[in-house]
Structure 1
Amino acid sequence: MGFFKKPTLKVSDNKRTRAAELTLRESIYPLCLVTILFFLWGFSYGLLDTLNKHFQVTLSITRSRSSGLQAAYFGAYPLASLGHANWILRHYGYKLVFIWGLVLYGVGSLIAWPCLLNRSFGGFCAAIFIIGNGLGSLETAANPYLTVCGPPKYSEIRINIAQAFNGIGTVVAPVLGSYVFFKNTGDDINSLKTVQWVYLAIAIFVFALAVVFYFSPIPEITDADMAFQASETHAGTDVKPFRSQYRLFHAAFAQFCYTGAQVAIAGAFINYVADTRPNTSDSTGARLLAGAQGAFALGRFAGSGIMKFARPRWVFLVFMTMCIIFIAPSITQRGNTGVSMLYVTLFFESIIFPTIVALGMRGLGKYSKRGSGFIVGGVSGGAVVPPILFAAADSQGKANFETGHAPTALAMTVPLAFFVAAWSYSLAVNFVPAYRDVADKFTTTEIGLTGAHAHDEENGMSGGASGEAEKYAEPMETERLNGESKI
């Protein structure tokens, strides 16, 4: 396995490696390792949605102030994706960013411990900001890594399957909140103390995982590798200067709008249930949120399966359109009907984020690492839209079940508007040739599927990978039968 060899933490972006044409078999181990990260930030995100409502009650703060949690969490993303994490990614590689993100996540979790113990909302927001920097670093590396680690033809499927485990994490967190943290304590102020042990456990786990990443022989994909893929598919746009990559910037804009809407809906879900269903406790609301997140996770598995038979851009358009269609009735409907509309909306939200990442990175070639920072930076929409939604809800006063007045339901017009803005990208990638052609050429390429490593520079050398340790941390064994790589 190479665990006792000296790990490599820096790889030149100007050299092509064997990772340019990774086969399905070669990519299994690194993909499984990175998928663990998706569960971690799904759990953290789901826990945040659950704590949002409980902070409102236990600390007697307004909905708009409690949205400071989302603002701190997602506001850290552009600082990571466009700043420190992206700099490390471009100068050292994916592996060091994974380690860096896990360390920040662990440090933030340790800081959260005393803040919860002392019921300091401001201190907890600061801890969440550090955690957000850690998770933003992980997303800066993990999302693009999944799109490029393995045959390009299946990049949308790979990232959606991995993101499905993110969805599982968002289910587990509210279930723990309902059945463990707040089952016996309800909204008692001491209930927050039970959460401290979760953050301590998270810190221990992520520090251990950072050690595993340090010693694991995962392939580094360089800018030269991505330029090769873009050239081979004849879909590269990296011949133009970075400022002219308008498809990338449109994808980043769509990511900003979509993520903002998604985070706003999830963060306000328990408030929505409390406003529209009489006599519904926060504990019941957390269980309903867990069910909605379960629909979200199910949608990712379903969407990944559909992409095996239909072009990812078609699935993207349908799912994005369904989000708009089903969020609209939640504004006017009440009770179980309105809640069911949010359930269906979360189901169709499922594949949007990872598919925007995969489609937005198509053809970037040598700009892939830099461009991924902009797309992941779009996650900062999660810091902007929730405060707007909660401010809109606060301006409507209190809920009145007799008249059907539900402030949070009316505020769902905010994510609806942002969904419509994000919809523009799904239309462009399906109906604008400059977008559509690039996506389709990558979908039909056979790189990594047939004639594996046929163009690899290392093939001309004795022993395949001899003398190339600095290019690729651990040469992988490739099985070739009749010129075709098999799993």
Structure 2
Amino acid sequence: MKWIQYDNGYLNQTPIFQFILLSCLFPLWGAAASLNDVLITQFKSVFDLSDFASALVQSAFYGGYFLISIPASMVIKKTTYKAAILCGLIFYIVGCSLFFPASHMATYTMFLAAVFAIAIGLGFLETASNTYSTMLGPEKYSTLRLNISQTFYPIGAAAGILLGKYLIFEEGDSMAAQLAAKTAAEAHAYRLDMLMNTLEPYRVLIIVLLCVLALFAFTKYPACKPAAKTEQAKEHVPGIGETLRYLVGNLKFKKGILAEFLYVGMQVAVWSFTIRLALTMDASINERMAANFMVISYACFFAGKFIANFLLARFSTNKVLLAYSVIGALMVLYIAFVPSFTAVYMAVALSVLMGPCWATIYGETLKTVEKKYTETAGAILVMSIIGGAIVPAVQGYVSDLTGSMQFSFLVNFFCFAYVGYYFCKKNQEESHAGLTPAPKQ
């Protein structure tokens, strides 16, 4: 396909094969993220951790995203989106490989280091891919393209949970029950065996990543970089200091950052503790059985993506997301306070509402930024997923403090409430400005 790149970096049409291949990167970080939900449960029993300490898996993961996003944006600025993606794939492979020495050292901190290394690679991938997806075609379809790419994410997330379910978790009684029935020596040997199980999903990931790396390396991609029309314009390409000053002064951008921060934190917290919630609400099930609820959660998330794409194409973005947030907040209250196993089903159903939030907030917030600041703005938006490092830890702390995993889900109510408030205010601002929020094309 022959494409034409405009001066603002967008294309006259979307190169289909390149867009599909780019979208196939999204399930790769989905698999890594969902495996963390398995690791939290596995490490809690193997290392005898509190809920707060087990949530540090997510802190290491999303902390890596936070630290690498600006350096990744600088790589994109100096090279290309494709180069940053290749760097991300290489770091991802290295991070997966670190699980092998970690399993032999048998220390929690070494596993956290491996998770952090994976996140470095994913920071490159997501910083480049989210923005690249919005740029890879006509500008008016930018947010819709990102929503389509994000639709691939739950496929990888479900795959990660299935890998964890069958390659890490085992049949029989839960790990806690088995450990309670063993002597100290037997328990130690059992824990070492369980640690070795964590290697298996990462063997599979390394093979897949090597194939994707080769395929991506040999596929031609457009630059999608805004073109400077004159030498004088080239001399005024903004540096990182100027860009940050501009973004700090952009109120709409800052509001979007906070909404993204809380949304990601809520999503990660709910998924991190769904397996633990199921084990708490029904002591007769084991980890492999409880993992089924996460498989269904990602299926709901996947279905929710299509529902969201349908709604966003026909109705106001602000009103759709406001309705989602109100319904989500009410569902979280049910999870926190209804003393029955139906709370687990409600936590699973909550994933239907998570479909449009990340991509829509990302795409709409990026539109508030001048094109010459796009790469760094996209990186800072990716940095907002540090919420995934903080909110789960807060929920774990609340669980430890109150002794109730179920009640700890109340933390997510406040996140949903702010996201709803954000879209309510955004709708009011556009209405007062005489704008009618247009449906997506």
TM-score range, shorter chain: 0.7 to 0.9
Distance 1:328 1:319 in 2: 14
Counting only pairs closer than 5 Å after superposition, residues 370-409 of structure 1 correspond to structure 2 as: 370-397=376-403, 407-409=404-406
Matching of residue 279 in structure 1 with residue 276 in structure 2: no
Q: Is the 8 A contact 1:277 1:335 kept in 2?
A: no
Describe the superposition over 1:447-481 as per-residue Cα deviations: whole angstroms up to 9, x where unpaired: xxxxxxxxxxxxxxxxxxxxxxxxxxxxxxxxxxx
Distance 1:169 1:437 in 2: 42
Describe the superposition over 1:105-135 as per-residue Cα deviations: whole angstroms up to 9, x where unpaired: 1110111122134432211100110111111
Q: Helix, strand or coil for the counterpart of 1:154?
A: helix
- Change in Cα spacing, 1:282 to 1:326, as seen in structure 2 (3 Å) is same
Distance 1:160 1:361 in 2: 14
Q: Percent identity?
A: 24
Larger mean CA deviation between 425-434 and 124-133 belongs to: 425-434
What is the match of residue 163 of structure 2?
Answer: 176
Matching of residue 120 in structure 1 with residue 107 in structure 2: yes
- Change in Cα spacing, 1:260 to 1:442, as seen in structure 2 (3 Å) is same
Matching of residue 426 in structure 1 with residue 416 in structure 2: no
Distance 2:219 2:378 in 1: 24
What is the match of residue 232 of structure 1?
Answer: none
1:205 corresponds to which of 175, 189, 208: 208
What is the match of residue 256 of structure 1?
Answer: 261
Q: Is the 8 A contact 1:19 1:219 kept in 2?
A: no
Q: Helix, strand or coil for the counterpart of 1:223?
A: coil
CA drift of 1:20 comes to 2.5
Q: Is the 8 A contact 2:135 2:142 kept in 1?
A: yes
- In structure 2, give the amino acid aligned to 1:277: D
TM-score normalized with structure 2 length: 0.85
Counting only pairs closer than 5 Å after superposition, residues 118-267 of structure 1 correspond to structure 2 as: 118-184=105-171, 187=175, 188-189=190-191, 190-224=193-227, 241-267=246-272
Distance 2:203 2:287 in 1: 25
Distance 1:177 1:305 in 2: 32
Describe the superposition over 1:386-421 as per-residue Cα deviations: whole angstroms up to 9, x where unpaired: 111101101123xxxxxxxxx011111111112222
Q: Helix, strand or coil for the counterpart of 2:58?
A: helix
Distance 1:391 1:435 in 2: 42
Aligned residue pairs: how many?
407
Q: Is the 8 A contact 1:50 1:177 kept in 2?
A: yes
Matching of residue 350 in structure 1 with residue 355 in structure 2: yes
Q: Helix, strand or coil for the counterpart of 1:99?
A: helix
- In structure 2, give the amino acid aligned to 1:302: I
Moved over 4 A (4+): 15-19, 434-444
CA drift of 1:317 comes to 2.3
Q: Helix, strand or coil for the counterpart of 1:21?
A: coil
CA drift of 1:36 comes to 1.2
Counting only pairs closer than 5 Å after superposition, residues 295-374 of structure 1 correspond to structure 2 as: 295-364=300-369, 365-374=371-380
CA drift of 1:101 comes to 0.8
CA drift of 1:48 comes to 0.8
- In structure 2, give the amino acid aligned to 1:313: N
- In structure 2, give the amino acid aligned to 1:322: I
| Structure 2: unaligned runs, 5 residues or longer | 176-189, 229-242
Describe the superposition over 1:207-238 as per-residue Cα deviations: whole angstroms up to 9, x where unpaired: 3422322221111111349xxxxxxxxxxxx9
Distance 1:30 1:314 in 2: 33
Distance 2:130 2:124 in 1: 10
Larger mean CA deviation between 115-124 and 178-187 belongs to: 178-187
Describe the superposition over 1:38-73 as per-residue Cα deviations: whole angstroms up to 9, x where unpaired: 110111111110111111112212211111110000
